[in-house]
Amino acid sequence: MQLIQQQINPEFFNYNEEWVNKYIHISAKSAPSRLIVEEVEKYGVLTNIFFMPIFNNLFCNEIVELAKTLPEDIWTTERHPTYPTTDVLLSTINLENVYSNVLRDFMIPLAIDAYELDGTTPEDFFAENFLIRYTPETQNHLDLHHDSSLFTFNLSLNDNFTDGGILYKKNNIHVQPRPGHAVVAPGMIGHKHGAKPITSGERYMIVSFVMTKKPFYRNNATQ
Q: Using 50 as the pLDDT threshold, list the residues of the chain that sit under it.
A: 1-3, 6, 220-223
In a domain, 76, yes or no: yes
Could you give the number of structural domains in the chain? Answer: 1
- What pLDDT shows up at residue 170? 84
Q: Could you tell me the residue range of the domain that residue 50 belongs to?
A: 2-214
In a domain, 221, yes or no: no
**pTM of the model as a whole:** 0.91
- What pLDDT shows up at residue 219? 54
Taking the CA of residue 216 as centre, how many other CA atoms within 13 Å lie in the half-sphere pointing to its CB?
A: 20
In a domain, 222, yes or no: no
| CATH number where 48 lies | 2.60.120.620
- What pLDDT shows up at residue 223? 38
- What pLDDT shows up at residue 58? 96
Distance in angstroms (rounded) separating the CA atoms of residues 30 and 17: 14
In a domain, 223, yes or no: no
